[in-house]
Every structure is written in structure tokens, then in C-alpha cells.
Amino acid sequence: MPRNGLLIQYDWCTGCHACEVACKQEHNFTGGMVGIKVHELVTVGPDKVHTDFIPVTTRFCDLCAERVKGGEQPACVKHCQATCMMYGPVATLAKAMEKQPRSSIYAPK
Amino acid sequence: MAKSKEEKVLSTLWSAGCGSHGGCGCEIFVKDGKVTRVEGDPNHPFNQGRLCAKGLALPQYMYHPDRVTHPLKRVGERGEGKWKQITWDEAYDTIETKLKDIRSKYGAESVIFCQGTGRDIGGAITFLMYAYGSPNWVQVGLAGHACYTPRLGAMYATHGHYAVADCSQFLEKRFEDPEYVLPKYIIIWAQNPSAGCHDGFYGHWIIDCMKRGSKLIVIDPRSTWFSSRAEVHIQNRPGTDGIIALAMLNVIINEGLYDKEFVKKWCYGFEELKKRVQEYPPEKAEEISWVPADLIRKAARLYANNKPSAIQWGEPVDAMPAGSVVSQAINHLWAITGNIDNPGGNVIARNSHGVTTYPFSSAELTELYGADLVKRLNEKRIGANDYPMIKGFRGWVQPDVLIEQMETGKPYPVKAAWIQTSNIIGGQAADPRRHYNAMKKLDFIVCVDIFQNPTTMALADIFLPVCTICERDSFRSWWQPLGVSVKAVDEVGESKSDWDINLEMAKRLATTPIKFNTVREIFDDRLKVGNTNFEKLKAKGGWEFPPKGDKTRPYYRYEKGLLRADGKPGFDTPTGKVELYAKRFEEWGLDPLPYYEEPKEGPVSTPDLFKKYPLILTTGRRSPVFFHSEHRMVPWLRELDPDPVIEINDKTAADIGVANGEWVYVENPRGKIKMRAKVTPTSHPKVVTVPHAWWLPETDGKAPNLFSTWDHNVNNLTSMGNQGKSGFGGTNLRSNICRVAKIKD
């Protein structure tokens, strides 16, 4: 069975945190436990200051194993307000990544 | 999880729970009578399956242990935090007796009806208020009415209707609709759209446009995610947006970049505007705003030369000195470039199908209640006689006049308050201490809310528990589509919906019999103008767009005679044109043309004071996980934004000896609060930004602490009484001053 993962085109991530709360709701995580976390990245360029957000999966991400069995997208992918996440076999994601700058693939399990 | 056994209810999120201005279609999953999950509805054109953090946290909000689920009566002194659970009958009996007694002694106008921001409360509260007979509908403490109303008033004066950046939200097929054209440029003016759905505009529509090729011009004192991606970032001194807009008009007019045909055919007063903007060349704007003249020129040229382009603006525009005037100047940018009601420009936004959830304007009020009642209401409405624009546009009280009247009792005393979905002391009011002192003296106060908060704790005599959006029916017509919220589960505890409470109360208090027996009858009465009803909309999946040719559907309605009551082509203004020279402003005794007004405090107006308080303080920085003062008690959200944070430039912080993460005092002549420093180059060296409405629900709720509101609510550094000539704008929410110092303990 191919390994699944998440392709995140992080250039579009606005830092809205919907993925994190979607994850908590789906798994009923409490006490700060979460399967994905968004980090702010501030860099100073020659003419302006840049703000980016980088979502990273954590050790608690199970790619919504139960949920995807029913044919649904992982909760974070579905609710991402910037629609910048894709779920699928890592090889497929890698192919899509060739056309998408500033992105990363996570294969959490 | 055996999800197949769950029931799925399709609904529209708006109001308590998700909090925001809303419109998102959602799927509410229910099992054994409880909401298990709330997700986005993929078939709903508004959000297309997505949902924000606040919507997704709804189950934790609904079943929160601190939620008030029974009516309460205060048994100690106000603020002592001593409550007794009572029945609804006892609560209603007490309220009925008190409010009838006050009405017979002091008149119905002595009771104010107070709401928070514009959500599904507006219909319910005005319904009750007009039944009782009071004209005083108010957002208490909202200085200068600085939340959308100044912008709406300026648009009404200029072209008779409101206009919104077109991100295809008025079309069912959205970006796929062949009628739609993408904006070439979007100007984001003083807003961080990704933090919410401000004024009913789903912020991520901007990202949808960017992905398809729209470019950005960002006007914001702060560097943001959007400014990082903008072709032009105008990082202006807070409060100077008016002169930026005027200088852009200057460039567009003097360089002949405006839409000459549109101006000739559809605009009134172009020569007067042309003359006026000669006072505002980009070089003058540079001196005042810190923005290089050439950057202003570049922004003006890009916007005017690339049609269609759209402008999406935020609340700070309202909070400028003379807020309605700044709005007018920005409005003229889309007017003279012909970017009005065209695909990809600023489209005229009307309530879907012509349905209103509550009477918005004086015109609507007249239609609903008759000219006689409106006349009587205006005679007593607080502030209406001081400000013709307050009287002539919308049925609100002017909040700066209200606080004075509460203190002086003149021209008549305020005796009681019905406060529904409004945290006055904890976030809505400028100078909350002044409001606390004035309102503490009222004879009787009812609070209708979900949780205890600084306001309910400080003031309530009776607390009525209200339910969340998942536990009630409601409907929404704020632009489009027309949608219903569907009750998915029974109310938690004994809570009730705002509409249920207000109908039951109105039946007891009304001076003439209420013609509706049920809330559903009221909804269907409001919806009938759209040839539909609640059940029909619910059966369709909860929403419907107006049919083709409907006057609430774009585009180019001014050519088709769909904007004016007389059916003639043109705009709904006295001249039938877009009034660059606003006849309505003239009628209200105001300058009919836009001009620049300097903030009352700062480097230009008060240079000596500015030496003592050398930073410009901008409040109201939005968090994507909170809505105003809501949600601080919801763990899933609070974990993401745990502290009230001041953003301060790294070099500025080093100069004053503040390190990242340290707690600081933020102080000005009006007070001092505590914030945690986030040291970041995204802040301008001379500007600090803070979020508004912070309180700590985990701390002592009793007075004097009141959930730490005095320590963390930045409105303690603001004041009332700075309103512009129109009664709108002019607050010190965005262009305030302060100094910052590390807390040494």
C-alpha cells in the first residue's frame, strides 16, 4: 500500500489556524494536543519584511485514518481556508509538487 | 466513530457560537441529541466547504462548563457575583413589572436597548424595542459609531447604495460564472482579511482571487502576510488614510486616468472634486502620512489603469478623524474609475431578495412603522437632534451623546438598559470605566447572554441565558445568498433563542397587540418579499440566490433602472448620479466634498504630549481565533492565542529595554494596561498594535477585578467625545498615543 501524506503549498497559508482546530475537533484532542501546528516565519528582505506561515504535522497526526476510510478528506485539508493542502499517496503529491513552488510534503506515518 | 449513525443538519452560521459576521454554510453533525462536530458545507457557495477556527470550535463553546443555562437573579450588590437561579416566569414577571413601571414614570425612551455587533440580534432587539415604544437602539460606547456605519453612510450619500469588493460572491457558480471578471488589482485598505469575515465579507475570498491572478495594493501601517505579497505596500501613519485617498484622487484626475465616459454620463460634481483635490498633491500627503509621494502615485496609477479593480476596506477607516469623510474619499476612487457595479469592481450589495432581518434605514422604518412613528422616535432618539446624519441615516442612538446623557440626565434621564449580546465594559465601549460608573447607577438592567463576562457581572440584575446558533432557527440576508440557520439540537439547559425571548417579552410589554404568535411567523413575514419562507429555504439546503434580473443581483443595474424607486436608470441619489459632490451631506450641514482632518493627538497635533508618549497606538488588531471579546474561555482557541499581545518593532523594543515575551505596561494620559510584548520587525518603529477586548475568564469575575478587564482591555486608554462633525468617526481607537515600559516586579 502506498504511503499517504500531505502536500502543503505553504506560500498560501495565511495563519488562520483552521487546520489546527479542525484537527482538535475531529480527534477531540484536549490539553494542547494537536496533529498539525502553524508556525509564523518572519524574514527581513532587502525592501520589505515578509510574513509567512508554515504548517507542520506533529507526532499525533494520523492523517485522519478513520475519517478518510469513508471517502472524506482529512479534517485539516477540508477546512483549510486558503485551500492550500492536498492529501494522497506521496508519489502523487511529489508529482504535483513539481509545479508548486514553496511547498512541502509531510508523511507523518 | 460510527459516523453513519449521525444525523447531518445543513445550516448557516451567524452569531453566537462562531461569533462572526458569518454567512458560512455548515454541516452540523448530531448524535443522541448532541452536536458532535460542525464542518463546512462543500455545496455552499459562500465558503465552499471551508470553515474558520471559531466555527470549528463550536462544540466546545456550546458544551462549555461555564455556560449559563438558567435564568439568574442578582441577590447581592451589583458586581458581588451573587446569583440565584430563578424560573423564566419569575424572570419575565420581574422584567415586565420593572419596565412597565419605568415606562409609566419616565417614558419608554428612558430604556435603552443595547446590542453588540451586527448579527442576527438586530431583528430581535428592534422588534422588542419598538413594541415597548423606545427609540433608543444603541451600541453603547461605540465611539463615533466606528464600525461600518460611517462607511455605509458615506456610500449612501455618494451613490445611494452600498458597494463591496467583487470576489464573485454574488453569483451562485462563483468564479465559474461566465459573467464574472477577476479584479486585476485589489486594494486592501486597512484590514487583515484572513482574520475573519469582517462586515460579512469572507476574508479568504481575497486569497481565492490572488490564486487566480489578482494583484494586491495594501494600505496598512503594519507589515502583514498580505503586504508581503503586495505589489505596493503603503505603510502610512495611522489616521492619515484620508490624505492618501485624496492624493490618489489628485493623481488619477490630474493625469487623466479616470473613466471619462463614466464620469461624464453618471457622475455629478466632478469639477468641484477636481478643484478640491488640488489641495492634496502627493507631496503634501508624503509630509503628513510618511508615505513617499511616488509610491502613492504608483498605487493610484496601477489602480486606475487596470480595470476592473476592487477595494476591500476595514473598520479603521470608520475610526479615522471624520470617518465618513475618509470613507467618501475612498468611495470616490471606485466612482471616478467606473469600478461600480461592474464585474470585478465594487459591486452594489443589497440584502438578498430585498429581505431585511430588521429595519436598517429611516426609509425602511417609515415603510414598516409609518412616518408618524418615525417622527416621534426621532424626536426622542438620543443624538438624532444633534446630528442630522444620525437622524437621516439609520435608526441608531449616537453613543458619544448617550454617555453624556446617562451622566447628566439631560434632556431626560436614562433609567434602564436591556443589554443583549453586548459586552460593553469588556470590549465594546471606549472609556469603559466611564460607562461602568454611569451604568451602575441605572435603576434596572437585564443582560441576555451565553457566558458571564465583565458587563454581565458588573451590571446585570437579571441574566437571561441565550442559546447558540446550533440551537436556534434564524435567517440571514446580509448581502447574499438568502439563508436560514436551522435548529439542530434542543437548547442547552433552559436557554432560549434571542427571538424566542424577545417575542415572549414583546407580548408582555407591547402597547398595541403583537400580530405574530410564533417566531416562525415573524421569519416568514420578513421572507415573503423574497417569495419564499423558512421551510422552503431549509428544504433547498438552507440558501438561495436571487433570480436573474432581480434588483438585488449584479451587474450594471444603474443602466437598467434597477436601483431607483422610480425605475429610471441611474443611482438612488437626489441627482440620480454618483454624487462626487454629495447633496445629502450638504443637506445634513456637512461639507459635500472630502477633505483631510488630522488625528487629535500625535506628532502633528500635540508634539509636546507626543514627546512624553512617543508611540502611536493602534488598537483592534484582529486575531483569527477570537471575535471581539468572545471565545477567550474556549480551550481549543485560547491555546492558539493565550495572552493579550502588543506588537512592537525590534529596534524600538531594544531602545526601551523590552525583550520578546516580557510583560509591559502600555500607558497614556487616560490609563495603563498590561500586555505581553511580541518583538517583531513587522511593526513600524513608531507604531505599536494591540488587540481589543481582552479579559481573562479564568480570573475572579467579581468587582473590582471583573475578569481582569481593567488590566487588559485597551479601551481603558481611549475616550469618548471625539466624534466627527457628522457624529461619525473621529475616535482614538486607531490613532492613539502611548509609551511602553517593562513591568519590573
pLDDT digits (tens, 9 = 90+) for B153-192: 999 999 999 999 999 999 999 999 999 999 999 999 999 9
Residue B277 and residue B251: Cα distance in Å, rounded? Answer: 9
Interface check B433 vs A, CB under 8 A: no
B200 vs B714, which has greater pLDDT? B714
pLDDT, position B118: 75
Q: What percent of chain B has pLDDT over 70?
A: 98
- With beta carbons less than 8 A apart as the criterion, state whether B465 and B495 touch: yes
pLDDT, position B20: 81
pLDDT, position B730: 84
pLDDT, position B683: 98
Question: Any idea of the CA torsion for B727, B728, B734, B740, to the nearest 10 degrees?
Answer: 20
User: Which CATH class name applies to B72-143+369-472+488-517?
Assistant: alpha beta
- Band the pLDDT of B3: cuts 50, 70, 90: very low
User: Which CATH class name applies to B3-62?
Assistant: alpha beta
| Contact between chains at B227 and A44 (C-beta distance less than 8 A) | no
pLDDT, position B196: 87
| Contact between chains at A18 and B52 (C-beta distance less than 8 A) | yes
- Band the pLDDT of B377: cuts 50, 70, 90: confident
| Fold entry, domain B162-349+567-587 | Dimethylsulfoxide Reductase; domain 2 (3.40.228)
Of B204, B228, B637, the CB nearest to A21: B637
Q: Is the model's pLDDT at B350 over the cut of 50? A: yes
Interface check B52 vs A, CB under 8 A: yes
**Residue B503, all three cell numbers:** 417575542
Per-residue pLDDT tens for A77-87?
999 999 999 99
pLDDT, mean of residues B427-453: 97
Domains of chain A in start order, with CATH, are 4-106 (3.30.70.20)
Per-residue pLDDT tens for B571-609?
999 999 999 999 999 999 999 999 999 999 999 999 999
Interface check B384 vs A, CB under 8 A: no
- Band the pLDDT of B117: cuts 50, 70, 90: confident
Residue B378 and residue B362: Cα distance in Å, rounded? Answer: 10
pLDDT, position B368: 67
pLDDT, position A1: 76
- Band the pLDDT of B347: cuts 50, 70, 90: very high
The neighbour count for residue B673, using CB atoms within 10 Å, is: 24
pLDDT, position B741: 98
State how far the alpha carbon of B29 is from the alpha carbons of B158, B198, B705, in Å.
45, 26, 39
Q: Is the model's pLDDT at B204 over the cut of 80? A: yes
* DSSP H or E segment with residue B12: strand B7-13
Residue B308 and residue B345: Cα distance in Å, rounded? Answer: 5
Region of poorest pLDDT, from B223-232, B292-301, B537-546, B722-731: B722-731
Residues 6+ positions from A69 with CB-CB distance below 8 Å: none
Per-residue pLDDT tens for B269-288?
999 999 999 999 999 999 99
- Band the pLDDT of B4: cuts 50, 70, 90: low
Interface check B450 vs A, CB under 8 A: no
| Contact between chains at A30 and B224 (C-beta distance less than 8 A) | no
- Name the burial class of residue A81, with classes exposed (0-12), middle (13-18) and buried (19+) by CB atoms within 10 angstroms of its CB: buried
Ranges under pLDDT 70 in chain A: none
pLDDT, position B361: 66
pLDDT, position A54: 97
Residues of chain B found within 8 Å of residue A16, distances taken between Cβ atoms: 52-53, 194-195, 204, 624
Per-residue pLDDT tens for B386-423?
999 988 888 899 999 999 999 999 999 999 999 999 99
Q: Is the model's pLDDT at B617 over the cut of 50? A: yes
Question: What is the average pLDDT value for chain B, to the nearest integer?
Answer: 95
Paired with B40 in beta bridges are B26
Q: Is the model's pLDDT at B292 over the cut of 60? A: yes
pLDDT, position B403: 98
- Residue ranges per structural domain of chain B: 3-62, 72-143+369-472+488-517, 162-349+567-587, 607-742
| Fold entry, domain B607-742 | Barwin-like endoglucanases (2.40.40)
Q: Is the model's pLDDT at B360 over the cut of 70? A: no
| Contact between chains at A18 and B1 (C-beta distance less than 8 A) | no
Q: Is the model's pLDDT at B63 over the cut of 80? A: yes
Interface check B51 vs A, CB under 8 A: yes
Residues 6+ positions from B540 with CB-CB distance below 8 Å: none
Residue B663 and residue B642: Cα distance in Å, rounded? Answer: 13
Q: Is the model's pLDDT at B2 over the cut of 50? A: no
Residues of chain B found within 8 Å of residue A70, distances taken between Cβ atoms: 3
